[in-house]
Amino acid sequence: MGQDQGLLVTGGPIWTGSSEVPWVEALAVRDGRVAAAGPLTRAVEALDPRHETLDLHGRAVVPAFQDAHCHPIHGGFQQRSCNLDGRLTTESCQEAVVAYMRTHPGDGWISGMGWSMETFPGGTPHRLVLDSVTGSRPAYLTNRDGHSAWVNSAALALAGIDRDTPDPEHGRIERDPAGAPQGTLHESAMELVSRLLPRPSEDEAVAALLQAQRHLHSLGISGWQDAMVDRQTERAYSLVAGAGTLTARVRMALWWERERGLDQVDELVARRARLRAEGLNAGSVKIMLDGVMETFTAATLEPYRSQGQAGEARERGSGHLFLEPELARSATEALDRLHFQVHFHAIGDRAVRLALDAVEASRREGPTLGFEPRHHIAHIQLIHPHDLPRFHKLGVVANMQPFWARHDPQMDELTIPFLGPERTGQQYPFRSLADRGAVLAGGSDWPVSTANPLEEIAVAVGRVGPGGDGPTREPFLPAECLPLATAFSAFTAGSAFVNHLEATTGTLSPGKQADLVVLAADPFTLEPTALPQATVELTMVGGRTVYDRGTV
């Protein structure tokens, strides 16, 4: 669409996301920016008489979404590998593996991701289920949250894992009643096998990133914070940016290697400077503090209940902190002084408290002149009530992934029985955080869950799945439902804020970049479960069309 004479957008509801003027009749886009937002006459006056017109024909416009926590290259790899996403029976997982083997013949590794814990008893698939279709060919398949891997007997043998192999620090090997490895590896135990896999080539990583970018643009996403940038990921971004094919706004969170200490800080500074010279923003560092609830590796203040599913009794402890508290605090202080933003992974209430304590320690001498870090905590599944007001007090952004805040088998069978009623009621407290003044940013953690912001927002507002999760399904902790405008703002202005882009994106205010989405329907007229029906028709980044469904 036209850039020289400008573009007039009108003919449907336009939500700007601005609290001052939330709804307007028309937008004027010129030189990639919003030249005017308001009455039709004012928008026309801001454009050359030869301007083009985008007639919405009743469709709606909202600011483009930004994802505050996702893993695009992993998502691209998932779509290109043995993809188990959406396979909810053992048989369908086996069928996917057989189909992959058919298109990837030979005796090399079968690798992929995306299986759901709810598919298998206790959330732990057995090696024999894989053996029956893979034979002697080794297989390594991570689950959708990336915290567990399903492996077959061939893979275990290649890695030398047997009944005498001890659990590594911060990891666990699931075992059968006789003590033999069962076929599921958690956290650091995954590395016992993953280190044997061939590394993807640069060309494969670039292809995965470009595929992910196409997918995210098709969902109305103009930018994101990549929550796990290692050296291979970093190289892929450099190649795509150098080729001029990176059309998204990206902030990169460099991966903190938890087996190392403060000696890596100088390397992070050097990597940030090198990427900045290439036009890339690597101003964040990702620190992973704990695991996940379903494998009892999320760090909790009180032990998991020993009595859980099917009356099974077992000592489960209080999860794992992947960094010692003193190192977490020292690392945060060092990164803060060097003007890095810290992007914490914290799911359990003990990990959330440690992240807040680390930020508080870094702030004791007062904020660094001219630097507002906007440290943020992603996932925030379980938060002790005493810690809710600390987000606002410390300026910590609550980086939420709403899609998990609902009843599903993973919540009802693998989480609630081991938390008990009191802690169950403290999960995903989005409304409580907002009411206490916390800034909310919206992320998906794709490919762990859907990348579709409309599905994420639907759950944030209704606390049920986007399809309603069945006729008898009740909302999960409905007091924590967010107002629709608040949820939309989290995925637009909130994510722009955490990415330090709020001055130029996040709302459709005059002077800002024309990052916008055309939706098939006005989402503010729909029931929460129907929000995904307002499908994305067109996505613009800086006034440039990066996705067009062909219906506008």
The pLDDT tens digits of the residues spanning 19-70 come to: 999 999 999 999 999 999 999 999 999 999 999 999 999 999 999 999 999 9
- In this predicted structure, the answer to whether residue 135 has a pLDDT above a threshold of 80 is yes
Residues of the chain with CATH 2.30.40.10: 7-63+511-548
Please check whether residue 127 is in contact with residue 181, taking contact to mean a CB–CB distance below 8 angstroms: yes
Please check whether residue 18 is in contact with residue 508, taking contact to mean a CB–CB distance below 8 angstroms: yes
* Domain 278-498 architecture: Alpha-Beta Barrel (3.20)
Please check whether residue 343 is in contact with residue 373, taking contact to mean a CB–CB distance below 8 angstroms: no
- In this predicted structure, the answer to whether residue 2 has a pLDDT above a threshold of 50 is no
List pLDDT tens digits, range 412-437.
988 999 999 999 999 999 999 999 99
Reported as a pLDDT band with limits 50, 70 and 90, residue 311 is very low
Place of tokens 């985008």: 54
Candidates 306, 269, 304; CA nearest to 290 is 304
- In this predicted structure, the answer to whether residue 461 has a pLDDT above a threshold of 70 is yes
Tell me, what's the pLDDT at 200? Answer: 85
Candidates 223, 286, 214, 249; CA nearest to 67 is 223
Tell me, what's the pLDDT at 313? Answer: 41
Give the list of residues 6+ apart from residue 214 with CB closer than 8 angstroms, or none: 547
Least confident interval from 119-133, 244-258, 316-330: 119-133
Please check whether residue 441 is in contact with residue 399, taking contact to mean a CB–CB distance below 8 angstroms: yes
Tell me, what's the pLDDT at 435? Answer: 98
Region 4-24: mean pLDDT is: 95
Please check whether residue 10 is in contact with residue 27, taking contact to mean a CB–CB distance below 8 angstroms: yes
Question: Hey, which residues does 36 pair with through a beta bridge?
Answer: 28
Give the list of residues 6+ apart from residue 342 with CB closer than 8 angstroms, or none: 284, 285, 287, 331, 332, 335, 336, 358, 359, 373, 375, 376
| Measured distance CA(37)–CA(14) in Å, rounded | 9
Angle at 255 between CA 251 and CA 261, to 5 degrees: 140
List pLDDT tens digits, range 260-279.
999 999 999 999 999 999 99
Candidates 252, 218, 69, 236; CA nearest to 541 is 218
With H, G, I as helix, E, B as strand and everything else as coil, classify residue 103: helix
Q: CA distances (Å), 315 to each of 78, 304, 307, 309, 311, in order? A: 35, 8, 9, 13, 13
Please provide the average confidence, as pLDDT, over all residues in the chain: 92
Q: Which two three-digit tokens encode residue 90?
A: 């053992």
Cβ neighbours, 10 Å, residue 457: 27
Q: Which two three-digit tokens encode residue 336?
A: 């803060």
Residue 239 or 466, more confident: 239
Region 444-459: mean pLDDT is: 95
- In this predicted structure, the answer to whether residue 117 has a pLDDT above a threshold of 90 is no
- In this predicted structure, the answer to whether residue 316 has a pLDDT above a threshold of 80 is no
Q: CA distances (Å), 359 to each of 327, 365, 391, 431, in order? A: 13, 11, 10, 22
Task: Quote the pTM value.
Answer: 0.89
Place of tokens 């503090």: 289
- In this predicted structure, the answer to whether residue 309 has a pLDDT above a threshold of 50 is no
Residues of the chain with CATH 3.20.20.140: 278-498
Task: Quickly name the fold that domain 110-194 has.
Answer: Diaminopimelate Epimerase; Chain A, domain 1 (3.10.310)
- In this predicted structure, the answer to whether residue 471 has a pLDDT above a threshold of 60 is no
Candidates 440, 535, 518, 519; CA nearest to 485 is 440
Candidates 371, 72, 364; CA nearest to 218 is 72
Angle at 85 between CA 139 and CA 152, to 5 degrees: 15
At position 86, the amino acid (one-letter code) is: G
Q: Rg (Cα) of the chain, in Å, rounded? A: 24
Angle at 347 between CA 86 and CA 350, to 5 degrees: 160
- In this predicted structure, the answer to whether residue 310 has a pLDDT above a threshold of 90 is no
What is the torsional sign of CA 19, 497, 249, 73? negative
Residues of the chain with CATH 3.10.310.70: 110-194
Environment class of 314 (CB within 10 Å of its CB; exposed 0-12, middle 13-18, buried 19+): exposed
- In this predicted structure, the answer to whether residue 73 has a pLDDT above a threshold of 70 is yes
Tell me, what's the pLDDT at 194? Answer: 87
Characterize the bridge pairing of strands 536-541 and 544-548.
antiparallel
Could you check whether the bond before residue 22 is cis, i.e. omega within 30 degrees of 0? no
CATH for the 7-63+511-548 domain, from 2.40.50.140, 1.10.20.140, 2.30.40.10, 3.30.1330.60: 2.30.40.10
Least confident interval from 91-95, 110-114, 547-551: 110-114
Strands (E), 198-294: 221-229, 249-255, 281-288
Q: CA distances (Å), 239 to each of 210, 234, 242, in order? A: 11, 9, 5
Tell me, what's the pLDDT at 312? Answer: 46
Region 471-482: mean pLDDT is: 86
What is the torsional sign of CA 430, 432, 434, 436? negative
| Measured distance CA(117)–CA(405) in Å, rounded | 16
Q: Which two three-digit tokens encode residue 311?
A: 């009356």
- In this predicted structure, the answer to whether residue 246 has a pLDDT above a threshold of 90 is yes
Among left, alpha and beta (phi > 0; psi -120 to 50; other), residue 35 is alpha
Tell me, what's the pLDDT at 369? Answer: 59
- In this predicted structure, the answer to whether residue 314 has a pLDDT above a threshold of 80 is no
Reported as a pLDDT band with limits 50, 70 and 90, residue 1 is low
| Measured distance CA(511)–CA(36) in Å, rounded | 8
